[in-house]
């Protein structure tokens, strides 16, 4: 939906210092642009719960991290989110790929469509659903609003395949 | 049928966990960040506290090493020491790979190995007495890897070990302690996070 360089430039403009990530087939394409320019720094982790924990350490240390994962990883991340966002009150921000939202050709009946948004609501993460390229300009104001309010937030990015 | 290829190993020595932790406490610089969780957190709170101590209680079990990775990347001029349990390490073994991949030279990960989930009543962890934590760390990509079972040797080595460029992994074989309560939160976590961030800025 968005080019790698467009996303990388936006993250740099927003002051994101580190992108902590486990890839999927959509957001994973952004890694090369981020890594080639070196800003923000790409931090690869082994599972998505770990991504929130690394981001928590970055935030505590004064950096501005972004968690970049797929919605399946959000479902894996529960206890890490509880601890980082709600015990320690860290206003982390994420871009979360929303598997199968645009089509279910690969995974008909994908239950990600059932559980992702209720899970974000349960964890009190203020999210915006982005389904069209024209919504690119919605990302910046939501990031800034969450940052200024000191609350966790996310962009839920519609994807078309697993 | 073939015979097992393992050979008997020499009896392992174990040191008192509180004394092993006290050696870390004595060796740390006030500028160091020290993260403790589970049993090491309980015992660390018995020692004099510093503003850059982060007692990870409550925690998401397994979260101390990745939290330390994030802090080490954000604060590259400070040493970050993570005191973890073996049960917590097993909860998040992938963190060893993530740390080695990111290569933070200022991160020291110390695992207190007692083979039990001590805070829940000393049930054995999977692989108790079998898992070779230093070998796991080496296989994950750590180059600075150390193991101690003797308190005297650990006390003699700790300052040197934590001073070398890392990431550094240390496994300490410690005695099991039974019947002790789990760590109690030293206060509201949000407030402690805010104070910790202020201390870093100060």
B70 → closest Cβ in A57, A79, A82: A57
Structural domains of chain B, count: 1
**Residue B11 is assigned to a structural domain of this protein:** no
**Residue B24 is assigned to a structural domain of this protein:** no
Which ranges constitute the DSSP H helices of chain A?
4-13, 31-37, 48-60, 71-76, 78-81, 112-122, 139-149
A109: containing domain: 4-156
What confidence tens digit (pLDDT) does each residue in B23-75 have?
999 999 999 999 999 999 999 999 999 999 999 999 999 999 999 999 999 99
Calculate helix-pair angle for B17-27, B151-163, nearest 10 degrees: 30
**Residue B141 is assigned to a structural domain of this protein:** yes
**Residue B23 is assigned to a structural domain of this protein:** no
**Residue B9 is assigned to a structural domain of this protein:** no
What confidence tens digit (pLDDT) does each residue in A5-50 have?
999 999 999 999 999 999 999 999 999 999 999 999 999 999 999 9
**Residue A37 is assigned to a structural domain of this protein:** yes
pLDDT, position B10: 46
Interface residues of B toward A, Cβ cutoff 8 Å, are 54, 58-61, 63, 66-75, 92, 94-95, 97-98, 101-102, 189-190, 192-194, 196-197, 200-201
**Residue B181 is assigned to a structural domain of this protein:** yes
pLDDT digits (tens), chain B, 202 positions? 444 444 444 446 799 999 999 999 999 999 999 999 999 999 999 999 999 999 999 999 999 999 999 999 999 999 999 999 999 999 999 999 999 999 999 999 999 999 999 888 899 999 999 999 999 999 999 999 999 999 999 999 999 999 999 999 999 999 998 888 888 899 999 999 999 999 999 8
**Residue B7 is assigned to a structural domain of this protein:** no
CB-based burial label for A162 (10 Å; 0-12, 13-18, 19+): middle
Q: Are B12 and B60 in contact (CB under 8 A)?
A: no
Instruction: Give the minimum alpha-carbon distance from A76 to chain B in angstroms, rounded to a whole number.
Output: 13
Give the length of chain B: 202
Residue whose C-alpha is closest to residue B138's, from B104, B115, B171: B171
The SS3 call for residue A36 is: helix
Instruction: Give the minimum alpha-carbon distance from A142 to chain B in angstroms, rounded to a whole number.
Output: 23
Substitution target from B60, B88, B136 for chain A, most A beta carbons within 10 A: B60
CATH number of the domain residue A68 falls in: 3.40.50.970
Question: What's the token pair of residue B44?
Answer: 């660390």
Structural domains of chain A, count: 1
pLDDT, position B179: 86
**Residue B51 is assigned to a structural domain of this protein:** yes
Instruction: Give the minimum alpha-carbon distance from B70 to chain A in angstroms, rounded to a whole number.
Output: 4
A60 → closest Cβ in B66, B98, B193: B193
Residue B37, C-beta contacts closer than 8 angstroms, at least 6 positions apart: B55, B56, B57, B59, B63, B64, B83, B84, B85, B88, B183
Q: What is the mean pLDDT of chain A?
A: 96
Residue with tokens 């040797």: B153
**Residue A104 is assigned to a structural domain of this protein:** yes
Residues of A in contact with B54 (CB under 8 A): 60
Question: What's the token pair of residue A131?
Answer: 């389904």
pLDDT, position B4: 45
Kindly indicate the confidence band of residue A162, based on its pLDDT and cuts at 50, 70 and 90.
low
Residue whose C-alpha is closest to residue A6's, from A136, A155, A147: A136
B42: containing domain: 29-201
**Residue A99 is assigned to a structural domain of this protein:** yes
What confidence tens digit (pLDDT) does each residue in A113-142 have?
999 999 999 999 999 999 999 999 999 999
CATH number of the domain residue B172 falls in: 3.40.50.970
Residues of B in contact with A83 (CB under 8 A): 58-60, 63
């Amino acid at each position: 939906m968005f080019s790698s360089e467009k996303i990388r430039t936006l993250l740099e403009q927003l002051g994101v210092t580190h992108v902590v990530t486990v890839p999927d087939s959509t957001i994973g394409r952004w890694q090369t642009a981020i890594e080639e320019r070196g800003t923000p720094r790409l931090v690869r982790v082994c599972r998505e719960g770990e991504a929130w924990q690394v981001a928590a350490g970055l935030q505590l240390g004064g950096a501005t991290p972004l968690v970049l994962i797929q919605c399946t990883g959000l479902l894996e991340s529960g206890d890490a989110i509880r601890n980082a966002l709600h015990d320690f009150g860290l206003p982390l921000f994420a871009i979360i790929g929303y598997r199968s939202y645009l089509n279910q050709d690969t995974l008909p009946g994908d239950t990600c469509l059932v559980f992702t948004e209720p899970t974000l609501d349960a964890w009190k993460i203020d999210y915006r659903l982005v389904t069209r390229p024209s919504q690119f300009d919605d990302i910046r104001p939501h990031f800034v609003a969450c940052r200024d309010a000191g609350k966790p937030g996310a962009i839920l990015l519609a994807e078309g395949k697993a | 049928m073939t015979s097992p290829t393992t050979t008997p190993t020499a009896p392992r020595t174990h040191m008192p966990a509180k004394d092993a932790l006290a050696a870390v406490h004595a060796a740390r610089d006030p500028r160091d960040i020290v993260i403790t969780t589970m049993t090491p957190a309980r015992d660390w709170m018995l020692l004099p506290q510093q503003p850059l101590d982060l007692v990870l209680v409550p925690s998401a079990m397994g979260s101390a090493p990745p939290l330390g990775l994030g802090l080490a990347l954000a604060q590259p001029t400070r040493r970050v020491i993570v005191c973890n349990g073996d049960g917590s390490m097993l909860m998040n073994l992938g963190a060893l790979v993530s740390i080695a991949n990111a290569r933070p030279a200022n991160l020291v990960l110390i695992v207190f190995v007692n083979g039990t989930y001590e805070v829940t009543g000393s049930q054995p962890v999977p692989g108790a007495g079998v898992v070779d934590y230093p070998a796991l760390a080496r296989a994950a990509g750590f180059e600075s890897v150390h193991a101690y079972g003797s308190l005297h040797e650990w006390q003699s080595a700790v300052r040197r070990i934590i001073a070398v460029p890392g990431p550094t992994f240390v496994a300490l074989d410690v005695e099991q302690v039974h019947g002790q309560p789990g760590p109690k939160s030293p206060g509201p976590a949000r407030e402690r996070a805010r104070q910790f961030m202020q201390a870093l800025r100060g």
